[in-house]
Structure 1
Amino acid sequence: MSLQSRLNKLGVNCTCPKCNSSLKVKNGKRKNDIQEYKCKECGTKFTAFTNTILEKTRWHWDIWIKVLEMTINNFSIKKMVNILENDYGCTNINEKTVWLWRMKLIHSIATLPMPKLNGVIQVDETFIRESQKSSRKLVSYINGEERTARYGRVSSKYGIMGTEFATVTTAIDSSGYSVCKVTGLGKLTNEMFIDLFSDYFNNPSYICSDGNLVYEKYCEIFNIPHYIKPSNYSDILLKNGYDDCKTVEDREKLMLKLYNNDLIDKITYKGKLNYIEFKNLKTNNKLSLARVNELHKDLKKFIYTDKTNVSTKYLEDYIGFFTYLKNWKVRFNHYPSSKKDIEQIFEEILTAKVNYIVNDIKTKELDLPKPSGKYMNILIEETKKVREITKNKYFKFNEEDGVVTFNKREYLLDIPRYKLYNLCKEYNIKRFRKLAIWSIVTLLLKQSDIDIKIYQLLEKDRYLRNNDE
C-alpha cells in the first residue's frame, strides 16, 4: 500500500487543513504523482501529506517504521545509518541526516497528548544540569557571557534555584500514568505549576509532595488534601533516635511526639487529624513519594545514560518522548516492541498532523522561562551572605527553602513550632507559648540579627541532607 493510500485510509487531511471544511475537489496531480485537492470553501490547495511529518518525504512506509523502531529502542546514530544503507538500500544519507530524522520523530511523539491523572497523585521536581551539547559557542546562563566547556563533574555555582539547572516537574498517579514537563530554568513558581499541570489533574483525591510551598499553595487554591513528606524525613528520624528504639511501642511513641511537633510527614486540607487518624489515612490511601522517586531515577537514566546527555534546548522533546513511552507501558503492559506497536505509534503521529521540518530543528533556540536578572542578583547576594555567615562555601539554596523567595516571614511561618520556640528563648521573648504563630514571627522579624539565625538554621538543615546523600 502506498503512503498516500495509507494516509487516506487513516483519514488524514480528509478536511481542509485551513478552514476544516469537508467540501473539496480533486485538483490534478503534482509532479511526484501525489493527488492534490482544492477546498471549495476557502480555495486552499493541499494533499494528504500537507502538515504531516511525511510532507516532502522520499522514503516509503517500511523505512519510516524502521527508523521509528530504532529511535524507540535507542539505537546509536551510526548503527541506524548502517542498517538503512545495508538492509534498506538508502543512499545519500549520513549521520547528520539520520539525527535530524530521529529528532523529527522524537518531537512528533513528544507533542502527542498526555493522559489525565486520577486518584492519589505524587508530584515532585527533578533537576537536569543545563547543557549546550553540540553548540559551537557556549554561553553562561548566569551572566550571558561566553563560558568554557565543562569537563567531568563540575559543581554548579548557585545550585538548582538559578539558571544552571532545568527544572523537570513530574506527576504520577496510582495507576502509573505520568505527566512530565520542563517548567523552566531555576525554581518552579505557583503560576508555572498551575498553567502546566491543572489541566492534567482530574479531581485528585490526594496530592503527595515534599515540602515545596508551590504544591501546598496549589492544594489550598483547589481545596485538595495534601500529603507532605519533607525531603530530610530520614534525617529527622535518625537525629531523634528512631534507630535506637528497641520496641515497636517505643517507635510509635517517638513518631507520635514528632508528629505533634510538626516534624515529620502530615496531611493538610483534611481537617485537624490526630496521629492515629493521620496514620490510617496514610496507610489506607498508600500516601508516599515512592512512585515519583522511581520515575525520577528512570528519567535521569534516560537523559544521562541512554541518551548520554541532551542539549537543554531539546530537553522538552526528549522528556515528552520519555513520558509517552512510560505511559504506553502502562496502557499495554509492555514497551512498544512489535511492528504492529510501532505502526500504531506512527499512525498516532500522522493523525495528530505534527509537521516539524529540518529548519525548525537547525534553528531551535532555548525557549524556557528563566529567572529574571533581578532575581539572579538577589540569589547570588543571598547565597554569598549565607556562605560568609555559616563559613560553608558550598551552601546552595534548594526548592524546599521558604527563603527561595527571600521572604523571611514566609520561611519562619513554615518551620516547625519548636524551632520558633527555640528562637524565642534565644531572644528572651516572654510568654511566647501563649502567642499565635504569626505574632511570634512578627516579634522575631524585629530582631536585628534574625537574618543570621535564619541562615544558620538553613545551613544546619542542609548539612543533614548532604550527609544523607
Structure 2
Amino acid sequence: MAKKNLNLDEVMAYIEKLPFTQFKSVVEHYSNTQDSDFSDTLNKLTVSNFEQRLESLEVNSSCPTCSSHDIVKNGRKNNIQQFKCKECNRRFTRFTDTILEKTRWHWDIWIKVLEMTINSYSIHDMINVLTKDYGCKGINYKTVWLWRMKLIHTLAEMPMPKLTGVVQVDETFIRESQKGSRKLKSTIGNSVERKARYGRQPSQYGVMGAEFATVVTAIDNRGYCVCKVASLGKLSPELFFDLFDQHFDNIAYLCSDANSVYEDYCQLRNTPHYVRPSNFLKIIGNYGYIIQATEEFEKKTNKKVLEHLYYEGITDKITNRGEILFDTFNDIKYQNGLSLARVNELHNEIKQYIYRDMTNVSTKHLQDYIGFFTYIRNWRTTNGHYPTSQNDAENIFIEILKTKKNLTSTEVRQKELSLPKPSSRYMEVLKEETEKARNAIDNPYFKFNEEDGVLSFNKREYLLDLPKTRLYAIAKECRIPRYKKLAHWSLVSVILKQDNIQDILYQQLAKDRNKLIDEEDLEVMRSSGYVL
C-alpha cells in the first residue's frame, strides 16, 4: 500500500493533538537531525502552559502577602511573568508559594508523578516510567523521592474533616524507625546505644515507652476519619485534647477501649462515652457466653451472662450518663451501632500502608505519610472510590494548587524528629515496673499497654477502677476480715497495705490480657522456628 503524503495543514493538525511528552519527542528528534537547540523554546512552552492553567484557576490573582487585588505586571524574568502589588510592593509570580515554584517539569509529568504516588509506585518504578514514557533523562532516585515527598506533605497538610455523630477512637502503634539516617539516636535513654535493626527485633518496653510512635485515629459513622501521630509512647489527655477537639463536632457518642484518656475527654466535654475493653470477648467467654449461639436457650443464657457482667461493671458500658438499665443500654448500643469495628479496620489499613505499601517509613516523616493516607481515605469517602486514574490525580492536583501548600527540598532534607516523648524519669519508672511485673507473673515478655491504667503507675487508681467482684476476690485471697462490709475506698486502702500488693496488682493485670505475650514477640518466635 502506498504511503499517504501529509500536507502542512494535516501535519500541524496532528501535532496539535499530541500530548506534551510526544510533542517533546518530535521536537527533540527534529533538533537532533537539524543540529539545533530548542530546549529554551520547550521551557517557554512549559512555563506558558502552567501560567495559563494557574490563571484560569485564579492562583495568585491577588497578592499572596496582603491579598490585595491592586496588582500590575512587572516584566518577565526567566520566561516567567512577574507581578507587583501596589499595596505592599511585594513582587511575585503565578508560581509563588505553590508546589510548582522553581519547577521545570510539564503539567502532564506532575500529574503522572501524583498518579504514581497515589497508587504507591516504588521510586524505582517511578523513575522507569518517567525515563521511558516521559523523556525525563538523567532523573535520579533522590530527585524523585523529594518530588514524591513534596506531594505527600502537601496532601498531608490539607484540612482534616469535622467528625460528627457516633465517633470511634483508638490508638495504633508504629515501631520507631530512623530509616535513611546515618546517625542513629536512642529514644529510650542517652546511655542506651541505638543499633541498626536487621530482621525482626521486638521492643524492650512496648508501646508505653518511646520505642513506638502513637498514632491516634478517629472515624465517624459516615466513614470520614482523622489520623494523627501524637507522640512517642504514652498518650496524655492534654495531648489528645489539643490534637482532636477541633475535629469533633456535636458528637453523639464517643466509642473507645478502656484507655482513661478518652474518659477524661468525655467528662470534660460532657459527651456520652461507650467503653468496650479490648479483652471483651475473653471476658464474656470466661463467664460462659456462647459466641455462635443458635438455639433459643443459648441466646437466653448469653443475655443473662451479659446482664450479670454489665451490672458488675466488667464488660462494655456507657459512662458519663448516670445509671442506665441493661435493656436500655442494649437498645442504645444496637440502635446507634456502638462498637470499635470501623476504627479497628482503619488500623489494619494504616499498618498495611506503612509496612507493606511504603515498606516502612522514617518516624520523622510519619505524620506526612499518615496525613497523606488520611486525605486519600477521606477522598474515597467523598467520591465513592479510591483515586487511581489520571483524571482523579488531575483533580487532586488542582486542589493542591488552589490551597497553595509547599515544602522545599531543603526542608525535607533537614527535617528532624519532633514528637513529644516520655520524660527520662517516666522511662526509669516504666523500666522498673516492667521488671517487677515480669517477676511477679513469671513472664519475661510482659509489656504494659494503653489499657493498663499505668500512665502514672498509681496503684490506688488502678484498684479503684476494678469492679467490686474483683476486689472481693483479692480480699478473700488476702484473708481480709469482713471485707464485704467495707466501703469501696476503705477496701482499696486495706488491700494497698498488703505486703505482696505489687504481686497482686500485676497478677490482676495478667488476668485482663488477651495474650500474655505481645504480637511483636510472637512474630520473632515464629520467624525463629519457635513452636508456640
| TM-score, normalising length: structure 2 | 0.85
Residue 418 of structure 1: CA displacement? 1.0
2:423 corresponds, among 356, 372, 376, to: 372
Q: Could you list the per-position Cα deviations for residues 44-95 of structure 1 after superposition, in whole angstroms to 9, with x for gaps in the alignment?
A: 1111111111000001111100000010011111111111111111123111
Residue 448 of structure 1: CA displacement? 3.6
1:139 maps to 2:139: no
1:9 corresponds, among 56, 64, 87, to: 56
1:119 corresponds, among 165, 181, 198, to: 165
Residue 96 of structure 1: CA displacement? 1.4
1:191 corresponds, among 231, 234, 238, to: 238
Q: Structure 2 vs 1, CA of residues 357 and 21 (structure 1 numbering), >3 Å: closer, same or farther?
A: same
1:74 and 1:54 map into 2 onto residues whose CA distance is: 22
Query: Given residue 92 of structure 2, which amino acid in structure 1 is its aligned partner?
Result: F
Q: Is the 8 A contact 2:173 2:207 kept in 1?
A: yes
- Which aligned pairs between 1:208-247 and structure 2 lie closer than 5 A? 208-243=255-290, 247=298
Q: Is the 8 A contact 2:172 2:216 kept in 1?
A: yes
Q: Is the 8 A contact 1:117 1:202 kept in 2?
A: yes
Query: Given residue 214 of structure 1, which amino acid in structure 2 is its aligned partner?
Result: V
Q: Could you list the per-position Cα deviations for residues 337-381 of structure 1 after superposition, in whole angstroms to 9, with x for gaps in the alignment?
A: 333321111111112111211111111111111111111111111
Query: Given residue 83 of structure 2, which amino acid in structure 1 is its aligned partner?
Result: Y
1:258 and 1:465 map into 2 onto residues whose CA distance is: 23
Q: Name the structure 2 match of 1:57.
A: 103
1:9 and 1:433 map into 2 onto residues whose CA distance is: 77
1:410 maps to 2:478: no
1:11 and 1:197 map into 2 onto residues whose CA distance is: 33
1:363 corresponds, among 394, 397, 414, to: 414
Residue 464 of structure 1: CA displacement? 4.6
Percent of aligned pairs with the same residue?
57
After alignment, is 448-457 or 249-258 more displaced?
A: 448-457
1:22 maps to 2:73: no
1:85 corresponds, among 131, 136, 160, to: 131
2:80 and 2:490 map into 1 onto residues whose CA distance is: 76
2:418 and 2:91 map into 1 onto residues whose CA distance is: 33
Q: Structure 2 vs 1, CA of residues 21 and 432 (structure 1 numbering), >3 Å: closer, same or farther?
A: farther
Q: Name the structure 1 match of 2:122.
A: 76
After alignment, is 169-178 or 34-43 more displaced?
A: 34-43
Q: Name the structure 1 match of 2:497.
A: 446
Residue 384 of structure 1: CA displacement? 1.2
Residue 137 of structure 1: CA displacement? 2.3
| TM-score, normalising length: structure 1 | 0.96
Query: Given residue 110 of structure 1, which amino acid in structure 2 is its aligned partner?
Result: A
1:68 and 1:87 map into 2 onto residues whose CA distance is: 15
Q: Name the structure 2 match of 1:293.
A: 344
Q: Name the structure 2 match of 1:163.
A: 210
1:187 and 1:92 map into 2 onto residues whose CA distance is: 46
2:60 and 2:491 map into 1 onto residues whose CA distance is: 66
Q: Is the 8 A contact 1:397 1:404 kept in 2?
A: no
Q: Structure 2 vs 1, CA of residues 114 and 459 (structure 1 numbering), >3 Å: closer, same or farther?
A: same
Q: Is the 8 A contact 1:164 1:185 kept in 2?
A: yes
2:484 and 2:84 map into 1 onto residues whose CA distance is: 79
2:516 and 2:401 map into 1 onto residues whose CA distance is: 48
2:94 and 2:367 map into 1 onto residues whose CA distance is: 29
Q: Which has the larger radius of gyration?
A: 2
Q: Name the structure 1 match of 2:28.
A: none
Q: Is the 8 A contact 2:230 2:420 kept in 1?
A: yes
After alignment, is 330-339 or 282-291 more displaced?
A: 330-339
Query: Given residue 441 of structure 2, which amino acid in structure 1 is its aligned partner?
Result: T
Residue 430 of structure 1: CA displacement? 4.2
Q: Is the 8 A contact 1:194 1:218 kept in 2?
A: yes
Residue 263 of structure 1: CA displacement? 1.3
Q: Name the structure 1 match of 2:477.
A: 426
Q: Is the 8 A contact 1:398 1:404 kept in 2?
A: no
Q: Secondary structure at the match of 2:103?
A: coil
Q: Name the structure 2 match of 1:270.
A: 321
1:12 and 1:439 map into 2 onto residues whose CA distance is: 68
1:175 maps to 2:226: no
Give structure 2 stretches of 5+ with no counterpart.
1-47, 523-532
Q: Name the structure 2 match of 1:252.
A: 303
2:125 and 2:197 map into 1 onto residues whose CA distance is: 28
Query: Given residue 135 of structure 1, which amino acid in structure 2 is its aligned partner?
Result: S
2:261 and 2:435 map into 1 onto residues whose CA distance is: 25
Q: Name the structure 1 match of 2:251.
A: 204
Query: Given residue 360 of structure 1, which amino acid in structure 2 is its aligned partner?
Result: E
2:205 and 2:187 map into 1 onto residues whose CA distance is: 12
1:39 maps to 2:85: yes
Q: Is the 8 A contact 1:53 1:356 kept in 2?
A: yes
Query: Given residue 308 of structure 1, which amino acid in structure 2 is its aligned partner?
Result: T
Residue 155 of structure 1: CA displacement? 1.3
Q: Structure 2 vs 1, CA of residues 467 and 37 (structure 1 numbering), >3 Å: closer, same or farther?
A: closer
Query: Given residue 443 of structure 2, which amino acid in structure 1 is its aligned partner?
Result: N
1:151 and 1:241 map into 2 onto residues whose CA distance is: 44
Q: Secondary structure at the match of 1:122?
A: strand
- Count, aligned residues: 468
Q: Secondary structure at the match of 1:401?
A: coil
- Runs of at least 4 residues off by over 4 Å: 463-469
Q: Is the 8 A contact 2:447 2:518 kept in 1?
A: no
Residue 431 of structure 1: CA displacement? 4.1
Query: Given residue 200 of structure 1, which amino acid in structure 2 is its aligned partner?
Result: H
Q: Name the structure 1 match of 2:511.
A: 460
After alignment, is 17-26 or 340-349 more displaced?
A: 17-26
Query: Given residue 347 of structure 2, which amino acid in structure 1 is its aligned partner?
Result: H
1:38 and 1:467 map into 2 onto residues whose CA distance is: 61
Q: Secondary structure at the match of 2:163?
A: coil
Q: Is the 8 A contact 2:446 2:517 kept in 1?
A: no
After alignment, is 144-153 or 333-342 more displaced?
A: 144-153
Q: Alignment RMSD, CA only? A: 1.8
1:291 and 1:430 map into 2 onto residues whose CA distance is: 47
1:445 and 1:159 map into 2 onto residues whose CA distance is: 27
Residue 154 of structure 1: CA displacement? 1.0
1:406 and 1:361 map into 2 onto residues whose CA distance is: 39
Query: Given residue 404 of structure 1, which amino acid in structure 2 is its aligned partner?
Result: L
Q: Is the 8 A contact 1:227 1:287 kept in 2?
A: yes
Q: Name the structure 1 match of 2:142.
A: 96
